[in-house]
Amino acid sequence: MTASLPLDLHALFALQQQAFAAQSFPPEAVRRDRLDRLQRLVEEHELQISDAISADFGNRSHHETAIGEVIIVLAALAHTRSHLRRWMKRRSVRTSFHSLPGSSSILPQPLGVAGIVSPWNYPLQLALVPAIAALAAGNRVMLKPSELTPRFSQLLADLVAQRFSVDEFTVVTGDADVGRAFVQLPFNHLFFTGSTAVGRQVALAAAANLTPVTLELGGKSPAIVDDSADLLDTARKLAAGKLFNAGQTCIAPDYVLVPAARTQDFAQAYTQAVEEMYPTLEGNADYTSIVNDRHFARLQALADDARSRGAQVQVINPGGAAHDPAGRRMRPSLLLGVDDAMAVMQEEIFGPLLPVMGYGSLDEAIAFVNARARPLALYWFGRDRGNRERVLRETVSGGVTVNDVLLHIAQENLPFGGVGDSGSGAYHGEYGFRIFSKEKPVFEQSRLAGTWLLRPPYGKLANSVIRTLRRLL
């Protein structure tokens, strides 16, 4: 049986439920074996995976797949294996004084069947990192990858089917209708990565079953350039992060706030940085294509709308080659003079367009960020510690990288997740293990317990004990 066959989703879900019922607390050795099989899947088929992703995009840099997907997955596997025994352990916690000499502990218990819906932009990483957490926690897993990367999705389905039984870990391929049916299953936990709009629909579908949901969404992640920042160093880092995967990254900097007097200097520095990294775009394997014609047209429409409303669109054209809609290699562009009426400042961009806005004071920059939906990521550049601390304390975002971009996602000991419109819940490392576990509280009574003192019939003794307890609070 292969995971790509048109299996009835309810029957498949029932198989996984039955398998979990037969082994509801897999031992450490079973969990490690599942993680080991997943690692071999990635290591033995890395080139095949990278080729499939590149074919789906039109061109996807193999280096970017290695850096942004394979290394992160392998790091998650290594970190999980290293800490799994500790995470699984029943751990003692302090017992309230009035219940001594009893003892309290927490037992991390698998939830059951976990559903994962992954997107197209990082199809390996965003499918397997949550799957690693779910398998480590002892769950059965059903995964629905994106239909926008069909070659990769089918390859992943085939590779998983070769290494896992269908009631253990399975990949369900299909279109948006399959996705809608998938999220309506009564999973014990549902994990979704994608757009905010679709995330709302997923949350509604899950609510019908009271299924707990982790939503990893997106939004407009700002970068604030402080007056104390080195502009060229900042521009190089922003360009590298913005143009990684051609901007098709949920935590890509979506717009930049720069001191008003330095916007032109920043634009020049950013242009220099782009030309350093990409001397030409035509035939350049380092520069990733936009995933499909619809997304390419959407990005072009954002730039056209901004231009028609008065923005200055500075197209950075390394090598002087013509615009390449057929290859979907969209030219990196800076957008100056943007305002809130423009679509590019209302929608998540997900491409190589970078709006730049000037600000007069740090108060103004912070107020601008806080007037908008809470972003998945925020970036701050500078040397002024006071200003850095103000931004960290006075803004709310899913995560922050200071003096660089993207790198908070690569830290296994940091939770990764959104807030508000950018998502709910967080994973990576132990945080992922916990969201796919029920942390069961256990109180164990002692033979020496004095609870009999507070049983009916109540009288003077009970009153005395109550007064004593209240004095000790």
**What's phi and psi for 119, nearest 5 deg?**
-95, -175
The per-residue pLDDT for 277 is: 95
222-417: in CATH 3.30.830.10: no
CB atoms within 10 A of CB 91: 13
Strands (E), 169-221: 169-171, 189-193, 213-216
Looking at domain 9-217+424-439, which of 3.40.605.10, 3.30.830.10, 3.40.50.300, 3.30.70.1060 is its CATH number?
3.40.605.10
For 116, 205, 284, the CA distances from 213, given in Å and listed in that order, are: 10, 10, 40
What predicted TM-score, i.e. pTM, was given to this entire model? Answer: 0.94
Domain ranges of the chain: 9-217+424-439, 222-417
Give me the count of residues in the chain: 473
C-alpha 260/C-alpha 279 separation (Å) is 29
CA 305 from centre of chain: 30
At residue 255, φ and ψ (nearest 5 deg) are -155, 160
User: What pLDDT does residue 280 have?
Assistant: 87
Burial status of residue 58 (CB atoms within 10 A of its CB: 0-12, 13-18, 19 or more): middle
Residue 61: predicted pLDDT: 94
CA 204 to chain centre: 20
Task: Show the tokens assigned to 245.
Answer: 């995967």
Cβ neighbours around 154 below 10 Å, total: 17
CB atoms within 10 A of CB 361: 11
Query: Which one, of 426, 223, 254, 424, lies nearest residue 349 by Cα?
Result: 254
Query: Helix 28-44 crosses helix 150-163 at what angle (to 10 degrees)?
Result: 140
**Helix 125-136 vs helix 71-88: crossing angle, to nearest 10:** 10
Distance CA 270, CA 238 (A): 8
Residue type, 438: K
- Predicted confidence at residue 453, as pLDDT, reads 86
Q: Which two tokens stand for residue 174?
A: 């299909």
- CA 301 distance to own-chain centroid: 27
Q: Tokens for 373? A: 């939906």
pLDDT in tens, the chain (473 residues): 333 444 599 999 999 999 999 999 999 999 999 999 999 999 999 999 999 999 999 999 999 999 999 999 999 999 999 999 999 999 999 999 889 999 999 999 999 999 999 999 999 999 999 999 999 999 999 999 999 999 999 999 999 999 999 999 999 999 999 999 999 999 999 999 999 999 999 999 999 999 999 999 988 999 999 999 999 999 999 999 999 999 999 999 999 999 999 999 999 999 999 999 999 888 889 999 999 999 999 999 999 999 999 999 999 987 665 566 668 899 999 999 999 999 999 999 999 999 999 999 999 999 999 999 999 999 999 999 999 999 999 999 999 999 999 999 999 999 999 999 999 999 999 999 999 999 999 999 999 988 888 899 999 998 999 898 888 88
Q: What residues are annotated to the active site?
A: 216, 250
What's the confidence (pLDDT) of residue 3? 39
> Which pLDDT does position 5 carry in this prediction?
42
Q: Specify the pLDDT at position 26.
A: 97
- What is the per-residue pLDDT for 472? 83
Which tokens hold the place of 261? 């007097």
Count Cβ atoms within 10 A of the Cβ of residue 207 and give its class: 0-12 exposed, 13-18 middle, 19 or more buried.
Answer: exposed
The token duo for 374 is 């809470």
Residues 200 and 346: their CA atoms lie apart, in Å, by 18
Q: Answer whether the bond into residue 457 is a cis peptide, omega within 30°.
A: yes
- Give the containing element (helix H, strand E) for 70: none
pLDDT for 469 equals 87
Report which DSSP code applies to 25: S
Which contacts qualify for 172-179: CB closer than 8 Å, 24 or more apart? 172/3, 172/7, 172/9, 172/12, 172/142, 172/143, 172/144, 173/3, 173/4, 173/144, 173/145, 173/147, 174/6, 174/144, 174/147, 175/147, 176/147, 178/9, 178/144, 178/147, 179/117, 179/144, 179/147
Q: Is 389 left (phi over 0), alpha (psi -120 to 50) or beta?
A: alpha
